[in-house]
């Protein structure tokens, strides 16, 4: 089991230290990771691994992402605290919890009802009031709430996410793993003069992004 005390104000200190050693330098992000208990988002039979720097199964063939990947993707969003952020793939809710501390509003979409409801229960229990939830096809975004300052995709996309890019403000940033079903490149896309400027920063492996502009549901 994780070694932190029941009322430890920094239950994620070990995670913050791990990602700092791997190059994460945003002080606001490191503080959020230190104060957030990843254990709360992990199934009971996996909680002994909550502080490990690896992805963990959460059921329905989905995972809670590796803490370092959460940190990298969040840091690349360059959040100042005023942004409206769209997250594709609520999953465990851990990434949304991180975003909710660093942005003004978080809009998170999950295609699996059970995961969405479970994540919301956890996040409501933590008192996170700036998160809105939608069950649906995340590849199509959330047109009724667009545009967004930032968009974060937490599943592997087979190609350029055009519907999501169209919901991004001018100058906004979209972070997504793009590649095949076995491996992707973590890609940073910024909208400049209405066009995408992209760069890849590292290899990664995520579960598949399922939907109209993603992979077909098997």
DSSP-derived pairing of the beta strands 84-88 and 148-153: parallel
How far is it, in rounded angstroms, from Cα 11 to Cα 134?
A: 29
The residues near 188 (Cβ < 8 Å, ≥ 6 apart) are 76, 173, 174, 175, 198, 199, 200, 201
Helices marked H in 1-157: 13-21, 27-35, 67-76, 94-102, 113-125
Residue 65 falls in the annotated catalytic set: yes
Q: Which helix (H) or strand (E) holds 201?
A: strand 195-204
**Is-contact 186 200, C-beta < 8 A?**
yes
Q: 67-76 and 27-35 helices cross at what angle (nearest 10)?
A: 140
List 65, 92, 100, 116, catalytic entry: 65
For residue 107, which phi and psi values (nearest 5 degrees)? -115, 120
The residues near 89 (Cβ < 8 Å, ≥ 6 apart) are 95, 108, 109, 110, 138, 153, 154, 155, 209
Where in the sequence numbering do the catalytic residues fall?
65
């Amino acid at each position: 089991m994780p070694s932190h005390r029941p009322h430890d104000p920094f239950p994620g200190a070990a995670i913050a230290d791990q990602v700092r050693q791997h190059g994460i330098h945003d002080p606001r992000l490191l503080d959020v990771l230190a104060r957030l208990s990843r254990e709360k988002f992990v199934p009971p039979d996996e909680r002994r691994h909550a502080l490990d720097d690896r992805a963990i199964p959460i059921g329905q063939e989905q995972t809670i992402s590796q803490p370092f990947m959460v940190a990298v993707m969040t840091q690349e969003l360059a959040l100042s605290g005023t942004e409206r952020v769209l997250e594709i793939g609520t999953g465990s809710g851990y990434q949304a919890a991180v975003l909710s501390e660093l942005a003004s509003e978080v809009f998170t979409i999950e295609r699996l009802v059970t995961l969405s409801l479970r994540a919301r229960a956890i996040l409501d229990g933590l008192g996170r009031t700036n998160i809105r939830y939608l069950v649906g096809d995340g590849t199509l975004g959330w047109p009724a709430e667009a545009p967004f300052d930032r968009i974060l995709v937490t599943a592997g996309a087979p190609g350029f996410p055009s519907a999501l890019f169209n919901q991004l403000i001018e100058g906004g940033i979209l972070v997504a793993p793009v590649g095949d079903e076995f491996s992707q490149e973590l890609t940073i896309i910024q909208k400049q003069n209405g066009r995408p400027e992209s760069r890849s920063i590292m290899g990664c492996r995520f579960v598949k992004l399922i939907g109209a502009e993603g992979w077909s549901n098997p």
